[in-house]
Amino acid sequence: MSDLLANLNTPQLQAVTLPSVHALVLAGAGSGKTRVLTTRIAWLMSTGQVGPHGVLAVTFTNKAAKEMTARLSTLVPINPRGMWIGTFHGLCNRLLRAHYREAGLPQTFQILDSADQLAMVKRLLKNLNVDDEKYPPRELCHFINAHKEQGVRAAQAEVYDNYTEKRVELYAEYENQCNREGVVDFAELLLRCYELLQRNEPLRKHYQARFSYILVDEVQDTNKLQYAWLKLLAGGGAKVFAVGDDDQSIYRFRGAEVGNMRDFEREYAGDNVIRLEQNYRSHGNILTAANAIIKNNRERLGKNLWTEAGDGEPIRCFEGYSDLDEARFIVEEIRELVRDGVSPTQIALLYRSNAQSRVLENELFTKNVPYKVYGGLRFFERQEVKHALAYLRLLGNPDDDTAFLRVVNFPTRGIGARSLENLQVTAHQMNSSLYNAAASLTGKAGQTVGAFIRLVETLRQETAGLPLPEVVEHVIEKSGLAQHYRTEKEGQERLENLDELINAAATFIDDEGAIGEGGALVSFLTLASLEAGEHQAGEGQGAVQLMSVHSAKGLEFDVVFITGLEQGLFPHENAVSEGKDGLEEERRLMYVAVTRARRRLYLSCAQTRMLHGQTRYCMPSGFLDEIPESLLLKLNKKAAPAPAYPAYVSFGGVYAEPAVAGGLRVGQTVEHAKFGVGVIVASEGRGADARVQINFGASGMKWLALEYAKLTPV
């Protein structure tokens, strides 16, 4: 026990050992909030105030939940498996799985990730003959999610003009479609769970009595619905312990409200507000820079961080001629750091927009530096993996139209687009799923679609009772997916990913006892949906970490590179155009980025950048000016670096080079129907012989003949 409390400073110790009260820890980055929260759980348990059963802890990512669980098991001699530690989505999913009937869901309900949701909305607009230019699908998704996050169903949505009326009508249609298919989107997980608890008194009472301690990390980023959900669960007398930092609130665009933290302070914490001001993460110069940046924000609860660590190294700045120049500089530095003994996993490359990662990835790839991208092309979102998952989803729930459409004609079975359109019209009229409506198809369509239905039925029979990895393997083989990729030219890597999926199923341990109801397959599919954004195939040891600033929240690294510090990019132009509030949110994001660094921080920008197919001429970010000059070490090269660069590099006219062909240039970002988005890195040949080499990131490097590869600039 004394070990547990050793190495805590006075206010940390006070927070950890508070008696049974509501409390708020309001403190800056790296001051030990997450550590205090974890230690408090351990302390409560080891002093016998609560058992593992009575704790509910909300973390920001699944990764954080795993770390917290692992950490706990080192602090207290209990087995924390089966404890309710997870993200809002994860915990709501768990509750809904356990009470699917009461929630009005099929036992095997599936989760739509954002790409699935978009696909469903597009399909819906098409079926209803709605003009998707007037009602852009993405905006509609946003409209729906924003309402759900406010706890508002279509039936209660406010209508103030014809346009909104139509959108609300589409929201209602979308709800019906989801119910018909037995699928839920991310926001629905929360709303459904909230409504269930609100409506069902015995269930609510049960959970209110069960959890006597509720702990919340990153409380500044909760939205209205999440806050209401917490209040509901705490309604039976549970004590809520929340930790957060208003300066790190970065999800306003998703409905997060710093106001929740103030409400929490008023409604719950009262006098039990503890502030931590000592930072244990970063060296002095880094912290001074972070403080200097954030003090330009008006809307702050106000706090100042200090550290006992020395000033440390100056902050390194680099201004490149182009984004490629910037990438080269960064990769050179990384190689040097690694040579000097820094572990690559302790090096993070942060960017404001995911699109920026391509040029960095390309350079890392070329120089053979292993790297891992968070939130890039995600393992569970790859085409081949999604195909396999779609078959698996149909086994559990044939009414899942999204899964049905994904694989009904993959591998091809001669089912035409026309037949599918007819099928969709019929299903719509019958108010049934595509799977059910298929029986009514006649003629050739009846035969081909019928064969697909029989395939799914056969797969279901053949896999009944098999262990999970064998189910996955069987489906990949017998669905024809494996054969399809075996014959495809570039199929090797996809086959490897499918093997990886079998491996993932084998290592998947259903450790969530309480949700095992739908069986291992359903739990596995759930993991695939919930972790889509965080998982990466071949999660390598020894890889440099690439991620957006948003996904770096809560993490720390010895060395951090913040890249693309340019006006319009970071701060982002969309946010800037919103005025002061937008800019302040960007500044908080910058503060989050800077405070990830322990020992060394690099800030870099480029004078020209290729983004979304266009060369942009950039000014350095205004945030750079907010850092005192005395902290900075400028590393710019003196002379133009032309000779060091291969002749084909072409950026913003700095190194002139004619177009490859068809208006494409080296350095340009393009989209390929099969491989996704990539960057042209080299070219050869002219006219009909022209070929380009493209780095498709996770899909690898490919040489493609321009005449055949349909490439669209993005």
Residues that are catalytic = 33-34, 217-218, 248, 596
Helix (H) or strand (E) holding 560: strand 557-562
Residue ranges in 160-236 assigned as alpha helix (H): 162-181, 186-199, 201-210, 224-233
**DSSP strand E in 60-202: where?**
84-86, 110-112, 183-185
For residue 303, count other CB atoms closer than 10 A to its CB.
17
139 and 120 in contact (C-beta within 8 Å)?
no
Q: What track of x and - describes contact with ligand ATP for positions 520 through 559 (by CB under 6 A)?
A: ----------------------------------x-x---
Binding mask 246-285 for ligand ATP (x = CB under 6 A): --x-------------------------------xx----
Tell me if 9 contacts ligand ATP by CB under 6 A: yes
CB of 245 to ligand ATP, least distance (A): 5
What is the distance between the alpha carbons of residues 361 and 695, in angstroms, rounded to a whole number?
Answer: 9
Does position 398 interact with Mg ion (CB under 5 A)? The reply is no
30 binds ligand ATP (CB under 6 A): yes
Q: Which of 124, 224, 138 is nearest to 169 (CA)?
A: 124
Report, in Å, the least distance between residue 361 CB and ligand ATP.
26
Using the minimum distance from each CB to ligand ATP, give the nearer residue, 302 or 416.
Answer: 302
Shortest Å distance, C-beta 375 to ligand ATP: 18
Interacting partner of 32 out of ligand ATP, Mg ion, none (Cβ under 5 to 8 A depending on kind) = ligand ATP
Q: Which is nearer to Mg ion, 246 or 512 (CB)?
A: 246
Q: Which stretch binds ligand ATP (CB under 6 A): 7-15, 129-137, 398-406, 564-572?
A: 7-15
Which of ligand ATP, Mg ion, none does 35 bind, CB closer than 5 to 8 A by kind?
ligand ATP
* β pairing state of 273-276 and 23-27: parallel
Q: Given the rule CB under 6 A, which of 26-34, 322-330, 340-348, 430-438 is the region that contacts ligand ATP?
A: 26-34
Binding residue (CB under 6 A) for ligand ATP from 11, 22, 33, 170:
33
Rounded distance, CA 360 to CA 356, Å? 7
Q: Shortest approach of Mg ion to residue 87 CB, angstroms? A: 14
Site size toward Mg ion (CB under 5 A) is: 3
Minimum distance from residue 338 beta carbon to ligand ATP (Å): 22
Q: How far apart are CA 585 and CA 598, in angstroms?
A: 23
Distance between CA 623 and CA 587 in Å, rounded? 8
Instruction: Please give the residues from 554 up to 613 whose contact with ligand ATP meets the rule CB under 6 A.
Output: 554, 556, 595
Q: 421 by DSSP, 3-state: which? A: helix
Among Mg ion, ligand ATP, none, residue 9 binds (CB under 5-8 Å by kind): ligand ATP
By beta-carbon proximity to ligand ATP, the closer residue of 284 and 446 is 284
Least separation, in Å, of the C-beta of 423 and Mg ion? 50
Q: Which amino acid appears at position 220 of this protein?
A: Q
Footprint of Mg ion on 4-33 (CB under 5 A): 33
CA 429 to CA 431: how far, in whole Å? 5
Tell me how far, at minimum, the Cβ of 594 lies from ligand ATP, in Å.
Answer: 11
- Interstrand relation of 597-611 and 614-617 (parallel, antiparallel or unpaired): antiparallel
Give min distance, CB of 586 to ligand ATP, in A.
Answer: 18
The answer to whether residues 268 and 22 touch, using CB atoms and an 8 Å cutoff, is yes
- Element (DSSP H or E) covering residue 122: helix 114-127
Does residue number 244 form part of the binding site for Mg ion (CB under 5 A)?
no
Query: Cβ-closest residue to Mg ion?
Result: 34
Please give the single-letter amino acid code of residue 432.
S
Cα gap 597→562, rounded to integer Å: 10
Spatial CB neighbours of 710, under 8 Å, sequence gap ≥ 6: 672, 673
34 binds Mg ion (CB under 5 A): yes
Max CA distance (Å), the chain:
79
From Mg ion, ligand ATP, none, which one binds at residue 245 (CB under 5 to 8 Å depending on kind)? Answer: ligand ATP
Rounded least distance, CB 553 to ligand ATP, Å: 7
- Binder among 34, 108, 110, 563 for ligand ATP (CB under 6 A): 34
Q: In sequence order, what are the residues at sequence separation of 6 or more whose Cβ sits closer than 8 angstroms to the Cβ of residue 86?
A: 57, 58, 59, 62, 65, 94
Beta strands, E only, 352-427: 371-373
Binding of residue 69 to ligand ATP (CB under 6 A): no
Residue 669: other Cβ atoms inside 10 A = 19
Instruction: Return the number of the residue (472 or 590) whose C-beta is nearest ligand ATP.
Output: 590
Told to check if 7 binds ligand ATP by CB under 6 A, we report yes
Binding-site member from 181, 245, 400, 534 for ligand ATP (CB under 6 A) = 245
Is 25 in contact with 40 (CB distance < 8 Å)?
A: no
Q: Which does 609 bind (CB under 5 to 8 A by kind): ligand ATP, Mg ion, none?
A: none
CA atoms within 13 A on the CB side of 195: 17
The answer to the question of residue 80 lying near ligand ATP (CB under 6 A) is: no
Distance CA 227, CA 149 (A): 10
Q: Are 170 and 124 in contact (CB under 8 A)?
A: yes
| Residue count, binding to ligand ATP (CB under 6 A) | 19
CA-wise closest residue to 375 among 132, 140, 546: 546
- Ranges within 530-569 binding Mg ion (CB under 5 A): 554
Please give the Cα distance from 276 to 13 (Å, whole number): 11
Bridge partners of residue 85, in order along the sequence: 57
Closest among 656, 485, 637, 525 to 116, alpha carbons compared: 525
Only segment of 22-30, 192-200, 252-260, 311-319 that touches ligand ATP (CB under 6 A)? 22-30
> x-or-dash pattern for Mg ion, window 135-154, by CB under 5 A?
--------------------
Q: Does 312 bind ligand ATP (CB under 6 A)?
A: no
Are 243 and 27 within 8 A, CB to CB? yes
Q: Which listed residue (11, 16, 18, 35) binds ligand ATP by CB under 6 A?
A: 35
Nearer to Mg ion, 80 or 554 (CB): 554
Q: Which residues bind Mg ion (CB under 5 A)?
A: 33-34, 554
Q: Which residues bind ligand ATP (CB under 6 A)?
A: 7-9, 12, 27, 29-35, 245, 248, 280-281, 554, 556, 595
